[in-house]
C-alpha cells in the first residue's frame, strides 16, 4: 500500500486462497482470539455472580475456535479491501524466481503467469520447524499451524518447546481444563524477558497445575492409536493424548528458486538484509519473519513501510525503533519494552525500581483481574525511564503508556511524568502513578 501511494505499480502474489498470510490464518490472530475466549471463560467460572446460578460450562477446543474463525475472516476481508482500494494487482499461486527481475507464478489449475518487475520484495513469512524424525502426518501430532484443525477434545496435552507459542498454547489448553505438560529445552521460561516477570509466569503455571520440565530434549516420539509417548534424552517418558511441537520456525524460502538470482538463505531459511531491508541482490528486498528477528507482525508492518520508502525514494530516514515492545499472550499476559534488570546490572547502569501490584488497584478489584504487577526501571540520577515490564491482564496494552514516555527525547523521558499527570480513576493505567511513587521513594537523598 505504501508503494502504491508512492505512485508505483504493484502486484502481490499470494499462494493461499485468502490474503493475510500466517499472521492472520495460523499464527497471531487465531491464537490470540483463542486466548481471549479462554480467558473470558476463566473469568466467567471465577465470577461469584454465576457460580451458584449456572451449571458449570465445559467448552471444547472447537467451540472456542468458532470465534477465531470469524475474526480471521474479518481480518482477511479487510486486507483484501485495502488491495482493491489501492489498485494493487493480486495473483493467486506459488511464486519462484526465473531471474532477478522475473517471477513465475504457478496457479492451482496448472496454468502459469510470468511477471517482470524492477523491484521484488520477499515477504513469504515462516512456518513451524518440523524435526525430520517426527511423523507429522499422524493424527495425534501437531505443530502451531495444524493445531487449529484439532477435532477431538484432549484431556492431556504435551507441548514440546516452551517459547512464546508453547507458553501461549499451554495457557489455552489449561484454561479449557486439560492437563498440560510443557517441555522446555532451556533452564527457565522465556529467558529473554525480565527474570521477575518470567518467574511470575512460571509460578502461575505451576500454581494452575501445568507441569514444566526444564533442560529436556526429545529422543523420539512413540505414536499409538489412543495417544503419544514422548521419550526424552534424560530417560523420562511422558504420555499424552496429543503433542504440539512448538520448537522454532523456518523461513519460507525453499520453494523460491533463490539460486536463480544468486541469493542464499541460512540454515533456518532466513535471508540477510541491510537497514533498508535490501538483500545482497540490489533490487530484491525482504521483510517479516523471512529475515528472522524480531519475527513480530507489529515489526513486519514497519519493515514493509520502511522498505517501501527506500524503494520509492532511494532512501528512508525512518528506521525500526530499537526498543520493540514484546507482547506474550499467555493467561495472564506478559509484556515489556526496554532494558531488563539483568541487562542494566551487567552494563553497570545505576537504576532504581518502582512497582505497582494490580491487587491494590480499584479497577483490577472491580474486574477481578488482581493477578499481576507493573515494574518500572529508571535511571537513579536522571530519572530516565529505561524499561517497563508488566505481568497481568491487558499487559500488552498497558506497556504502551510507558513506551510513549521512553521514546521522548531529552528531559521528556522522566519517570516524574507519571506523578505529575492525572490518570482516570479507576483504571489500570493508574499503576504507572503507583509504581512511579514507589520507585521515587526508594531514591537516596
| Residue 314: pLDDT band with limits 50, 70, 90 | confident
pTM: 0.93
Cα distances from 439 to residues 44, 158, 436, in angstroms, run 35, 41, 5
Contact 232/238 with Cβ under 8 angstroms? yes
Q: Is the pLDDT of residue 146 over 80?
A: yes
Per-residue model confidence (pLDDT) at position 317: 76
Model confidence at 389: pLDDT above 90: yes
Q: What is the mean pLDDT of residues 415-444?
A: 96
State the pLDDT confidence band at 444, using cuts at 50, 70 and 90.
Answer: confident
Q: Is 32 flagged in the annotation as binding?
A: yes
Q: What is the mean pLDDT of residues 212-236?
A: 96
314 marked as binding residue: no
Question: Is 163 within any annotated ligand binding site?
Answer: yes
- Spatial contact of 263 and 271, defined as CB atoms under 8 Å apart: yes
The answer to whether the annotation marks 235 as part of a ligand binding site is no
Any idea which fold 141-247 has? FAD/NAD(P)-binding domain (3.50.50)
Which pLDDT score, from 0 to 100, does residue 55 have?
59
Annotated binding residue 166? yes
Of the chain, the percentage scoring pLDDT greater than 90 comes to 86
Is 165 annotated as contributing to ligand binding? yes
Residue predicted with more confidence, 191 or 63: 191
- What is the structure's pLDDT at 42? 85
Q: Which segments of the chain belong to CATH 3.50.50.60?
A: 1-127+250-313, 141-247
Which residue spans of the chain are classified as CATH 3.30.390.30? 332-441
216 marked ligand binding residue: no
304 is in an annotated binding site: no
Which of 64-68, 394-398, 439-443 comes out lowest in average pLDDT?
64-68
pLDDT in tens, 173-188: 999 999 999 999 999 9
Residue 242 annotated as lining a ligand binding site: no
Fold of 1-127+250-313: FAD/NAD(P)-binding domain (3.50.50)
Is 125 annotated for ligand binding?
A: yes
Phi-psi region of 231 (alpha: psi -120 to 50; beta: other; left: phi over 0): beta
What are the tens digits of pLDDT across the range 132-145?
A: 999 999 999 999 99
Q: Quick one: 332-441 is in which CATH superfamily?
A: FAD/NAD-linked reductase, C-terminal dimerisation domain (3.30.390.30)
Rg (CA), the chain: 24
167 is in an annotated binding site: yes
Q: Is 239 annotated as a binding residue?
A: no
Look at residues 379, 418, 424 and name the one whose alpha carbon lies nearest to residue 402: 418
Confidence band of 52 (pLDDT split at 50, 70, 90)? low
Average of per-residue pLDDT values in the chain: 93
Does the pLDDT of residue 53 top 70, yes or no?
no
Was 354 annotated as part of a binding site? Answer: no
248 is in an annotated binding site: yes
- Mean pLDDT confidence for 203-212: 96
Would you state the pLDDT for residue 315?
Answer: 77
- What's the pLDDT tens digit per position in 54-103? 555 667 777 788 778 889 999 999 999 999 999 999 999 999 999 999 99
pLDDT at 343 over 90: yes
Amino acid at each position: 500500500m505504501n508503494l502504491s501511494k508512492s505512485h508505483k505499480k504493484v502486484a502481490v502474489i499470494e499462494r493461499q486462497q485468502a490474503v493475510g498470510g500466517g499472521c492472520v490464518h495460523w499464527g497471531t490472530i487465531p491464537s490470540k482470539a483463542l486466548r481471549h475466549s479462554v480467558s473470558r471463560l476463566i473469568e466467567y467460572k471465577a465470577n461469584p455472580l454465576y457460580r451458584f446460578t449456572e451449571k458449570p460450562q465445559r467448552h471444547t477446543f472447537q467451540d472456542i475456535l468458532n470465534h477465531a474463525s470469524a475474526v480471521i475472516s474479518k481480518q482477511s476481508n479487510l486486507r483484501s479491501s485495502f488491495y482493491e482500494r489501492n489498485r494493487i494487482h493480486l495473483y493467486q499461486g506459488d511464486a519462484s524466481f526465473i531471474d532477478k527481475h522475473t517471477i513465475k507464478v504457478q496457479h492451482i489449475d496448472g496454468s502459469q503467469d510470468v511477471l517482470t518487475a524492477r523491484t521484488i520484495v520477499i515477504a513469504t513469512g515462516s512456518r513451524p520447524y518440523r524435526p525430520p524424525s517426527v511423523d507429522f502426518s499422524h493424527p495425534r501430532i501437531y505443530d502451531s499451524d495444524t493445531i487449529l484443525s484439532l477435532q477431538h477434545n484432549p484431556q492431556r496435552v504435551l507441548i514440546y518447546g516452551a517459547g512464546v507459542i508453547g507458553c501461549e498454547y499451554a495457557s489455552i489448553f489449561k484454561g479449557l481444563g486439560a492437563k498440560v505438560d510443557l517441555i522446555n529445552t532451556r533452564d527457565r521460561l522465556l529467558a529473554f524477558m525480565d527474570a521477575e516477570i518470567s518467574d511470575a509466569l512460571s509460578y502461575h503455571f505451576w500454581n494452575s497445575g501445568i507441569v514444566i520440565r526444564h533442560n529436556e530434549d526429545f529422543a523420539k516420539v512413540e505414536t499409538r492409536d489412543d495417544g503419544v509417548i514422548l521419550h526424552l534424552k534424560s530417560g523420562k517418558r511422558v504420555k499424552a493424548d496429543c503433542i504440539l511441537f512448538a520448537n522454532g520456525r523456518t523461513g519460507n524460502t525453499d520453494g523460491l528458486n533463490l539460486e536463480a538470482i544468486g541469493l542464499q538463505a541460512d540454515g533456518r531459511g532466513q535471508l540477510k538484509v541491510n537497514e533498508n531491508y535490501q538483500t545482497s541482490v540490489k533490487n530484491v528486498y525482504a521483510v517479516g519473519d523471512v529475515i528472522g528477528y524480531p519475527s513480530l507482525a507489529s515489526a513486519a508492518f514497519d519493515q514493509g513501510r520502511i522498505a517501501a520508502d527506500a524503494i520509492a525514494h532511494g532512501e528512508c530516514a525512518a528506521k525500526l525503533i530499537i526498543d520493540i515492545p514484546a507482547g506474550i499472550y499467555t493467561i495472564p499476559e506478559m509484556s515489556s519494552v526496554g532494558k531488563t534488570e539483568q541487562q542494566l546490572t551487567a552494563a553497570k547502569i545505576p537504576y532504581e525500581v518502582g512497582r505497582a501490584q494490580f491487587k491494590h488497584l480499584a479497577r483490577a478489584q472491580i474486574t477481578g483481574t488482581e493477578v499481576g504487577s507493573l515494574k518500572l526501571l529508571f535511571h537513579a540520577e536522571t530519572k530516565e525511564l529505561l524499561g517497563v515490564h508488566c505481568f497481568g491482564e491487558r499487559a500488552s496494552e498497558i506497556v504502551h503508556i510507558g513506551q510513549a514516555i521512553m521514546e521522548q527525547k531529552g528531559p521528556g523521558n522522566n519517570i516524574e511524568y507519571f506523578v505529575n499527570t492525572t490518570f482516570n480513576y479507576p483504571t489500570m493505567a493508574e499503576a504507572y502513578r503507583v509504581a512511579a511513587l514507589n520507585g521515587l521513594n526508594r531514591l537516596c537523598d
